[in-house]
């Protein structure tokens, strides 16, 4: 089913992006650390993925930022914004 396939790809992208951002933000990041990581994270993923990363980050910035500050796992944040099934 192509819808399920598309969702899997979005989920993988979301998880990959958030793992990168989480690594850049460090342990127990504050809001400014998360914002800086959001900026750098997409650039670090290359141009093709970086563009989709930017779209993802701009659309879900608040949820991503809050999730990372709460110490949520990338998979859980992606599920919370509806890109992964929990």
Q: Please write the tens of the pLDDT for every residue from 24-77.
A: 999 889 989 999 999 898 888 888 888 989 999 999 999 999 999 999 999 999
- What are the domain boundaries of the chain? 2-81
Residues 6+ apart with CB under 8 A from 31: 65, 69
**Neighbour count for residue 12 (Cβ, 10 Å):** 13
Rounded distance between C-alpha atoms, residue 34 and residue 6, angstroms: 28
**Neighbour count for residue 26 (Cβ, 10 Å):** 13
Q: Are 69 and 34 in contact (CB under 8 A)?
A: yes
CATH topology of domain 2-81: 1.10.225
Total-model pTM? 0.85
Residue 40 CB-density burial (10 A; 0-12 exposed, 13-18 middle, 19+ buried): middle
């Amino acid at each position: 089913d192509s819808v399920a396939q598309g969702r899997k790809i979005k989920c993988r992208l979301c998880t990959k992006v958030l793992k990168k951002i989480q690594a850049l933000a460090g342990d127990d990041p504050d809001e400014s650390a998360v914002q800086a990581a959001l900026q750098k994270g997409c650039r670090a993923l290359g141009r093709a993925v970086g563009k989709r990363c930017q779209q993802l980050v701009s659309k879900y910035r608040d949820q991503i930022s809050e999730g990372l500050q709460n110490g949520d796992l990338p998979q859980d944040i992606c599920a919370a914004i509806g890109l992964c099934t929990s």
